[in-house]
Structure 1
Amino acid sequence: MTTDIHDYLAEFEDIPGTRVYTTKRARQGYWLNQFAMSLMKAENRKRWLADEEAYIADWPVTSEQKEALLARDYNRMLDLGGNIYYLAKIFSTDGKSFVEAVSTMTGMSVDEYKAMMQAGGRSPDGVRSIREGR
């Protein structure tokens, strides 16, 4: 039995709340991720924090990526090809811990997120397929 690669990869889009980092996403987010990695240098962090609009203008990110960056909408950045390990440079520059940033992606407070994770993470019960609604 032969599986079409496009059908196989499309299945990844059916997992609720999960963005699988595929080669398509990597290509889509290349400049977004390069931007994030630029924040590894102190002089770039200083420029970004001083004038975000001016600093981001130097990067060929899409307008959607720019909006997500300025809004610190990490879920949208993931949708647009961002890799969480690169995006960590952004929230670290903002002085946020990984837990603080990720809690914003869940709609939970930091304390609620910590409690959920300490209790074993998200429940496996609930919607497991977007397409099938189950």
Structure 2
Amino acid sequence: MSEPSKQDIHAYLEELEDIPGTRVFTAARARKGYWLNQFCMTLMKADNRERFRADERAYLDEWPMTEAQKQAVLKRDYNAALDEGGNIYFLAKVFFTDEISFLQAVGTMTGMSPADYQAMMLAGGRSPVGVRSKKDPY
């Protein structure tokens, strides 16, 4: 098997953007979200969590994040944070700072209640039947 060309890699990565309801954490997203994810990691320390809770905007302004990234955090719009390069495992530090479970936070990302989301996951997850492409929904 021959090694794929750079063109093939770009086409492959573009295909990942066509998966409905999914944001694949690619190298491009990692670069875009570097400072957002670095901010999240600071929340592992109790004193940083307290500083963040005391004045979220001031704490976020200490980081060279984009305004869209800051707004995603302030609004707790985790889907927007993913679009802005956030990694779900880094964003979990925000969930835990807010004292909500991973299940509760991820449920908000799906529009489902935590109970419905949990039931879906226990039943095997999202069905592979249905919309498989943003470009071709049928």
Does residue 1:70 correspond to 2:71, yes or no?
no
DSSP 3-state at the match of 2:24 = coil
Question: Could you tell me how far 1:73 is from its partner in structure 2?
Answer: 0.4
Equivalent residues, number: 134
- AA at the equivalent of 2:115: D
- AA at the equivalent of 1:125: V
Gaps of 5+ in 1: none
Task: Provide the residue aligned with 1:42 in structure 2.
Answer: 46
Gaps of 5+ in 2: none
Q: From 120, 125, 129, give the equivalent of 1:125.
A: 129
- AA at the equivalent of 1:112: D
DSSP 3-state at the match of 1:14 = coil
- TM-score scaled to structure 1, two decimals? 0.96
Which consecutive aligned stretches of 4+ in structure 1 deviate over 3 angstroms post-superposition? none
Cα distance in structure 2, aligned partners of 1:6 and 1:117: 32
Task: Provide the residue aligned with 2:22 in structure 1.
Answer: 18
Cα distance in structure 2, aligned partners of 1:75 and 1:56: 18
Cα distance in structure 2, aligned partners of 1:124 and 1:11: 17
Question: Could you tell me how far 1:121 is from its partner in structure 2?
Answer: 1.1
Cα distance in structure 1, aligned partners of 2:32 and 2:122: 34
- Alpha-carbon deviations, 1:16-43, whole Å to 9, x = none? 1111111000000000000000101111
- TM-score scaled to structure 2, two decimals? 0.93
DSSP 3-state at the match of 1:88 = helix
User: Identity across aligned pairs (percent)?
Assistant: 63
